[in-house]
């Protein structure tokens, strides 16, 4: 089983979002067993946060395999299905960051405005570490709401031939190609004026 250090290595740094995705991944593996080798496990993620990197590492669901589906709802919600049963779980994250003092808010504000002084950076790293600890140590029933579901699965990943855009000369998946002035073009080239 993957460890938190494994997701940090993949993501590049430790942060609260990564810890949330790690906890989601642990719950999924407890429910379904092994990571996805192919498309037998499907993840539908409703945000593009750091947590999704942890979900990929923990569950083996990736864009490349076609078993990671992104829905841009801005919610810390993750749905997982198994093929072919369609059995699944929906996981909503309930974590609320600890309240910050006025001093802590000022330090974060300074950091967000580019202040990387030792004092500010040390505070931010300590604050992140405390949040990560609280997530990793949180009781699962408090941290996550898990609902069992059974729904229609999204279709398996399709493999399409590539065609060459007659404008930029780059390859494009055939169903994403467009016709512009009688020529086959990619989406970016079709949108150029």
What distance in Å separates the CA atoms of residue 136 and residue 27, rounded to the nearest whole number?
12
Tell me, yes or no, whether 130 lies in a domain.
no
CATH code for the domain of 91: 3.30.1330.130
Based on the domain organization, do 91 and 167 belong to the same domain?
A: no
153-190 per-position pLDDT tens digit = 777 777 889 999 999 999 999 999 999 999 999 999 99
Based on the domain organization, do 46 and 88 belong to the same domain?
A: yes
Based on the domain organization, do 144 and 171 belong to the same domain?
A: no
Q: What DSSP element (H or E) covers 9?
A: helix 4-11
Tell me, yes or no, whether 43 lies in a domain.
yes
Mean pLDDT of the chain: 93
Do residues 56 and 35 touch, judged by C-beta distance below 8 A? Answer: no
Residues forming beta bridges with residue 7, ordered by sequence position: none
Number of domains the chain is built from: 2
Tell me, yes or no, whether 57 lies in a domain.
yes
Tell me, yes or no, whether 100 lies in a domain.
no
Give the model's pLDDT for residue 67.
Answer: 94
Based on the domain organization, do 179 and 145 belong to the same domain?
A: no
What string of H, E and C letters represents the secondary structure of 105-125?
A: HHHHHHHHCCCCCHHHHHHHH
> What distances in angstroms separate CA 115 from CA 126, 127, 129, one per listed residue?
16, 16, 19
Tell me, yes or no, whether 185 lies in a domain.
yes
Distance of CA 70 to the CA centre of its chain: 8
pLDDT tops 80 at residue 3:
yes
CATH code for the domain of 183: 3.30.60
110-147 per-position pLDDT tens digit = 999 999 999 999 999 999 999 999 999 999 999 999 99
- Domain of residue 181: give its range: 162-191
Based on the domain organization, do 53 and 12 belong to the same domain?
A: yes
Tell me, yes or no, whether 178 lies in a domain.
yes
Q: What number is the average pLDDT over the span 5-33?
A: 97
Give the model's pLDDT for residue 156.
Answer: 75
Based on the domain organization, do 82 and 175 belong to the same domain?
A: no
DSSP state for residue 76 in the 8-state scheme: S
Based on the domain organization, do 144 and 179 belong to the same domain?
A: no
> What distances in angstroms separate CA 25 from CA 7, 57, 107, 190, one per listed residue?
10, 8, 32, 39
55-109 per-position pLDDT tens digit = 999 999 999 999 999 999 999 999 999 987 888 999 999 998 888 889 888 999 9
């Amino acid at each position: 089983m993957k460890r938190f250090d494994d997701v940090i290595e993949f993501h590049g740094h430790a942060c609260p979002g990564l810890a949330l995705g790690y906890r989601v991944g642990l719950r999924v593996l407890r429910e379904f067993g092994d990571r996805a080798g192919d498309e037998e496990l499907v993840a539908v993620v409703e945000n593009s946060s750091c947590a999704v990197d942890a979900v990929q590492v923990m569950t083996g669901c990736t864009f490349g395999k076609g078993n990671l589906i992104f829905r841009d709802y801005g919610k810390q919600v993750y749905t997982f299905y198994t093929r072919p049963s369609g059995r699944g779980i929906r996981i909503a994250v309930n974590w609320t960051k600890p309240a910050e003092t006025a001093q802590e808010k000022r330090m974060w504000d300074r950091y967000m405005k580019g202040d990387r002084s030792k004092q500010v950076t040390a505070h931010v790293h300590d604050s992140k570490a405390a949040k990560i600890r609280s997530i990793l140590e949180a009781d699962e029933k408090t941290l996550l709401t898990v609902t069992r579901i059974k729904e229609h699965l999204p279709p398996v990943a399709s493999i399409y031939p590539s065609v060459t855009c007659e404008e930029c000369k780059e390859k494009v998946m055939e169903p994403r190609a467009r016709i512009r002035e009688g020529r086959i073009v990619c989406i970016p080239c079709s949108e150029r004026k």
